[in-house]
Structure 1
């Protein structure tokens, strides 16, 4: 039996495991990355943010989280399309390989959309791989290719 749950502080290890698997699958884990530091930073962020400015849903089967989605919440200066300025960035969409193609990610994204609607969040956005575009389009997301990024070293 699969259940949808809202992740809490006690899910920090499962969150890290799935996030690590996602980053590894995306090719973002390389030999020069300090994995201990990444794990500690990720867990610290999760523990300080969960159910505040970070909302995570998961699918649980046999007491194990097998699929996950995260929503980072933030406020920005209102603009014509979003007069409240409340936005949510969706990330960390991941399903363990043995459970894919069962609609789990879609169920979790639908939960995120319900959450956003009930919390006056007017804009949800994400970055998508080619693999995920069909799923996101089926839920009403549209492609906008105008993002630019500047990474600063601290």
Structure 2
């Protein structure tokens, strides 16, 4: 297994994995236009891979991407008297079904956590599914209740 940062050559696999991940958790999503999704996702991934705001970690076996973790760096407003480090929003954590429960996701998250520590990011925030809470706890993540959200009403 090889753990590395995603590259443009991985985009087609990452698009398919995002589609599969979504369908796995919401079968109705399969009713959406695959080509339209592929185009939108490709544009996002091309920008993300070239940017300094997104980091996409992958685990691959025989050049097949089998797991990934997307990280967005959130830069904070500086505060007097302390060095301001970004924090990290972790999302789209996924391992293909055939490779689950083999330690791949755990190994990938270990590498990500070391990367976070070595870059002195302030913290990582992730919204785990109910099924993944224990996975994150085993890697040192703790629950917090401090965040609040606002969801604007969407007018059709």
Within-5 A mapping of 1:66-85: 66-77=66-77, 84-85=84-85
Shift in alpha-carbon separation, 1:10–1:31, aligned structure 2, 3 A: closer
Following superposition, the deviation at residue 138 of structure 1 comes to 1.0
Q: Give the TM-score normalised by structure 1.
A: 0.85
- The alpha carbon displacement at 1:149 in A equals 4.1
Deviation at 1:122, TM superposition (A): 0.8
CA distance in 1, matches of 2:31, 2:152: 18
| Structure 1 portions without partners, runs of 5+ | none
Give the TM-score normalised by structure 2.
0.84
Greater Cα offset, 3-12 or 70-79: 70-79
45-54 vs 133-142, greater mean Cα deviation: 45-54
Give SS of 1:122's match.
coil
Moved beyond 6 Å, runs of 4+: none
Which of 138-147 and 115-124 deviates more?
A: 138-147
1:148 aligns with 2:124: no
- Which structure has more helix as a fraction of its residues? 2
Paired positions, count: 152
What is the CA distance between 1:85 and its match in structure 2? 4.5
Kindly name which structure, 1 or 2, has the bigger radius of gyration based on alpha carbons: 2
8 Å Cα contact 1:46/1:54 also seen in 2: no
Q: Aligned-residue CA RMSD in angstroms? A: 2.5
Residue 75 (structure 1) shift? 0.6
Give matches, 1:52-63, under 5 Å: 52=51, 53-63=53-63
Indicate if the aligned counterparts of 1:58 and 1:67 stay in contact, CA closer than 8 A: yes
Instruction: Give distance in 2, aligned partners of 1:10 and 1:20.
Output: 18
3-state SS in 2 of match to 1:50: helix
Please name the residue that 1:64 is paired with. Answer: 64
Residue 96 of structure 1 and its aligned partner are, at CA, apart by 1.0
- Cα distance in 2 for partners of 1:29, 1:119 equals 40
